[in-house]
Amino acid sequence: MKLVVVSAGLSTPSSTRLLADRLSAATLRHVDAEPEVIELRGLATDIAQHFVTGFPSARLAAALDAVAAADGLIAVTPVFAGSYSGLFKSFFDVIDKDALTGKPVLVGATGGTARHSLATEHALRPLFTYLRALVLPTAVYAAAEDWGEDGLAQRITRAGAELARFMAPATVPAGRGFGSDAGPAAGPGPGPDVDTAAAIAPRSLTGAITSVDPADGFEVVPFEQRLAALRAE
């Protein structure tokens, strides 16, 4: 299983990356997955060039493919001007429109004060809803002051358990995992009905749900069908 972490932090060290790593660790306590961190800072010019040229560089394509192939996604951005950063939005502007369909996504944001804590709800959540992702109920916002308080750790623990549960629904018994501090859950249990359509949708070689037939890279509707559809009307 694969857990991909997208961090849009810009400084080094970055509190956005720190939150992303904490969320990742909290998730991995409950699920056995291979984590991969994508720092958007290193892809900033590639993303801008994608807008200009219409195609991704090899590096950016690899990052987009990794996100598409992930079993779970953690996406964390600093809050700029009351919302996600432009770089963060730009990355999700160039991703395939079907790449996140049905994928569990844990969203997080960082800011200087608690004043922007609802950015996760009014900015991040609708963005991922538009992309048909399964946005988890707990989003984690960390203001500068939160790094010295207990509440943040609890929210991180809760959020990580939620993501783990939806990444591996069969391994977490129903009713456990959500906010539970009981540690790794075990044993079979009924998984949530995440998205039946997504579960049976065609997947590309990278595992992303897609309209593309993995056999040749493109879906082909036989031409006779297209012609007949026009004639019938």
Closer to another protein by CB, 25 or 229: give it: 229
- Measured in degrees and rounded to the nearest 5, phi and psi for residue 44 equal -55, -50
**Per-residue contact flags (x/-) with another protein for residues 59 to 98, judged by CB under 8 A:** ----------------------------------------
Map the footprint of another protein across residues 203-232, applying CB under 8 A. Answer: 216-224, 226-227, 229-231
Contacts of residue 205, Cβ cutoff 8 Å, sequence gap at least 6: 214
Query: For another protein, which stretch binds (CB under 8 A), given 18-26, 53-61, 73-81, 86-94?
Result: 53-61
57 contributes a contact to another protein by CB under 8 A? yes
Question: What minimum distance in Å lies between the beta carbon of 45 and another protein?
Answer: 9
List residues bridging with 113 in a β-sheet. Answer: none
Nearer to another protein, 56 or 108 (CB): 56
CA distance between the termini of the chain: 47
Question: Contact at 8 Å (CB) between 73 and 133?
Answer: yes
- 148 binding another protein? (CB under 8 A): no
User: How far is the CA of 34 from the CAs of 27, 37, 71, 92, in angstroms?
Assistant: 11, 10, 10, 22
Among residues 101, 120, 102, the alpha carbon closest in space to that of 110 is found at 120
Q: Which is nearer to another protein, 49 or 83 (CB)?
A: 49
The correct pick among 52, 80, 94, 124 for binding another protein (CB under 8 A) is 52
Task: Find the shortest distance in angstroms from Cβ 32 to another protein.
Answer: 33
Q: Report CA torsion sign: 211, 214, 218, 220.
A: negative
Beta strands 83-84 and 72-80: pairing type? antiparallel
Q: How far is the CB of 201 from another protein (least distance, A)?
A: 18
Q: What is the rounded distance in angstroms from the CA atom of residue 75 to the CA atom of residue 38? A: 10
Work out whether 49 is an interface residue with another protein (CB under 8 A).
yes
- The residue ranges that bind another protein (CB under 8 A) are 48-49, 51-55, 57, 216-224, 226-227, 229-231, 233
